[in-house]
A and B are shown apart, each in its own frame.
Chain A
Amino acid sequence: MNDLDLLRTLGSELDPTDGVPPARLRHRVISEMTDSSNRRPGGLYSITGRVPSRIQGGRNWTAWGLTAAASVAAVALVATNVPHGANGTESVASANLNGSQVLLLAAEHAGKASTATGKYWLSASEYHDLELASPKSDPYKVDSGVLRESWMAGSDSAPSRFLVKYLAMKPADSTDQAAWKRAGSPATVDVQYLDQSLKVGVKKGVPVGVSTTEVSERPARDSVKGEGAAKAGVNFTISQTQLTLRQVRDLPTDQAALRKIMLGGYDTNADAWTQDRWLFSGAIDVLTLPVTPQVRASVYRILAGLPSVRNLGQASDIKGRSGNAVAINWNSSEGQQEDRLIIDGKTGNLLAEESRLLKPIAKITWLKPTDVASTTVFTRTGWTDDTPPAKTSMK
């Protein structure tokens, strides 16, 4: 034996897992190359020599698949439909992806998220919608919002807390603010709404600028005996299926199986919802639950496969947070509707969902296509050891 043999033997002893690189390394490398590409035209970060002219124009890239086969498929997509971008800004780059590619990219990022847990799964969101105030004379739009925090217990020995804060109703934009002032800045207003059967109703004397908070509690699973025990830990909902934390953690990563769960309740729904729109909604549910990163990634892949999903490029939510927006258009009972998901480009987290009416039905033509008719922004989604808000007494 010579010295090199000795070293070779030693070397092979040092191989971790037979020297096969872990899958996360591939995710990481490709993600970093993707970010690098997005930052500069042609994907060049620092240029020390003359830049060849063919890359000066700024070549936009497409989503990088998780497997070599998928990346090869992405290349085939590139061959047929990617235009040449004029500048290298992020918004142009993402605008040149189609909807599937934005979502596959989100899947890529989501799949890398950590699997740490904590005391509570916190899903904090803010819902806003527009209503019409003072419908009979000089009407204007008002925004009312609801802030929700669901602190869902991570263990059977802790209660879950649910905070609901009805935000102060206020005029929606500056034009609406002016109209409210013209009306004498009233403390209460009449507000028109559309009820379940699409009949116009009026709520009289709704206070402006007042907010109320209430915190309710669902007892710890351990503390409930008898019949109630079975229901006690069922804190989570996907579409119309209710689940315990264990069931959420055990959700299948297989797309077909996951799709089936997300379609729960679809067959018996009486509304105008299309299957794609139902899945869109189910996806929002899943994305705000403590599912494993692989399930999260699978959900994005399910969305990527929906033919009616398209990419809108960069967009900001009502809080001003920017992300990649994908949209689905469908005919709802309120008219021709466009619903969006805004996804954080770096992490794959869901930032917000928004609804707009491109062509509202006759009763709500005061809503313009540019108005955000309703939206939910997801402000915090994740495990936390923070202390939940205290229970308020019921009045």
Chain B
Amino acid sequence: MTSTPSRPIVLSTEWVESEHVMNDGALVEASVDDAELFSLVYDRHAATLYRFAARRLGPELAEDVVSETVLAAFRIRHRYDPARLDARPWLLGILTRQISRHRNSERNRYRALSKTSVDREGQEGPADRVAAQVAAQSVRVPLAAARTKLAARDRDVLLLVAWADLSYVEVAEVLEIPVGTVRSRLNRARRKVREAFPDLHLSLDDEDLK
């Protein structure tokens, strides 16, 4: 026994094939009724979320938190404002909260990393990048120490800038805090990192704001 749909069918094959031109806001909105569309939200943002989570927590835990993040987002998708054309800040905000539930794992991970060197095959790049990597390996011990001295909130801001490539404005959107707060937390965090490596003479120039 079938009954007629309660709203007109608007999905045509043409629409479906050109889904890439639909912004996140419209996609999430459409997914409220057509749940399966949310899988496209996953497809668009999984790489960003996974990479960020894996840097902070390692690859196995990253799978868990990305999964928790997407599922949490899915459950509250009816509250997403369709005027927000990019869902990345929304998802990163949820992800940051999920990561903060694993503080011990994160701390242990940095400690463990500081004791080993990470081998990456096929590492190529400009000379200064190579030099930076060599320097990075030798600085990991103090870096781990510096990180634990950072307040969690400062660390979240720092890593969203350094590891998720967000601008101040984007970080403010992700964490739902004023831009001024982002700036002060970032400055404090960066100062602590510089203090941890007095020998490197890390420059003080400001990053270009996006």
Contact = CB atoms under 8 A, between A and B. Distances in A.
A164 interface: no
* Among A33, A46, A54, A78: residue with most chain B CB under 10 A: A33
Interface in A18-59: 19-22, 24-26, 28-30, 32-33, 36-37, 42-46, 48-49, 51-52, 54-55, 57, 59
B55 interface: yes
Interface stretch (A67-75, A128-136, A254-262): A67-75
B151 interface: no
Interface string A1-17: 11111111111011111
Interface string B34-66: 111111101100110111001100110011001
Contact of B135 (A6, A19, A73, A79): A6
Contacts of A79: 9-12, 16
A14 B55 contact: yes
A80 interface: yes
A76 B13 contact: yes
Contact of A16 (B54, B197, B207): B54
Helix, strand, loop or mixed for chain A's interface?
helix
B33 A54 contact: yes
B35 A19 contact: no
A61 to B, nearest CB: 4
A5 B203 CA distance: 10
A192 interface: no
A46 B78 CA distance: 11
A22 to B, nearest CB: 7
Interface in A107-139: none
Nearest to B12: A79
A110 to B, nearest CB: 18
A22 B19 CA distance: 23
Nearest to B122: A18
Interface string B59-77: 1001100110011001110
B7 to A, nearest CB: 7
A162 interface: no
B161 interface: yes
Contact of A29 (B17, B66, B204): B66
- Number of contact residues on B: which range applies? 35 or more
Contacts of A73: 16
Given A46-B75, A78-B34, A79-B9, A15 B162 contact: no
A10 B193 CA distance: 13
B139 A26 contact: no
Given A10-B140, A83-B3, A33 B132 contact: no
A324 interface: no
Contact of A36 (B33, B36, B75): B75
Interface string A71-99: 11111101110111010000000000000
A76 B16 contact: yes
Contact of A74 (B36, B162, B200, B207): B36
Given A6-B135, A19-B54, A25-B67, A52 B17 contact: no
A29 B53 CA distance: 15
Given A28-B63, A29-B67, A54-B7, A78 B194 contact: no
B118 interface: yes
A61 B161 CA distance: 38
B83 interface: no
B72 to A, nearest CB: 9
B27 to A, nearest CB: 11
A26 to B, nearest CB: 7
Interface string B126-151: 00110011011001100100000000
Contact of B3 (A28, A76, A84): A84
A26 B122 CA distance: 27
A16 B121 CA distance: 12
Interface of A: 1-11, 13-17, 19-22, 24-26, 28-30, 32-33, 36-37, 42-46, 48-49, 51-52, 54-55, 57, 59, 61-62, 64-65, 68, 71-76, 78-80, 82-84, 86
Q: Which are the 5 A-B pairs with shortest beta-carbon distances?
A: A19-B51, A79-B11, A7-B162, A21-B50, A83-B2
Given A6-B136, A54-B7, A78-B34, 4 more contacts: A25-B50, A25-B67, A30-B42, A79-B10
30 contacts: A2-B203, A2-B207, A3-B190, A3-B193, A4-B162, A4-B190, A6-B202, A7-B158, A14-B113, A15-B51, A21-B46, A21-B49, A25-B46, A25-B63, A26-B42, A29-B70, A33-B38, A33-B74, A36-B75, A42-B32, A44-B78, A49-B79, A71-B39, A75-B11, A75-B34, A75-B36, A76-B11, A76-B13, A79-B9, A84-B4
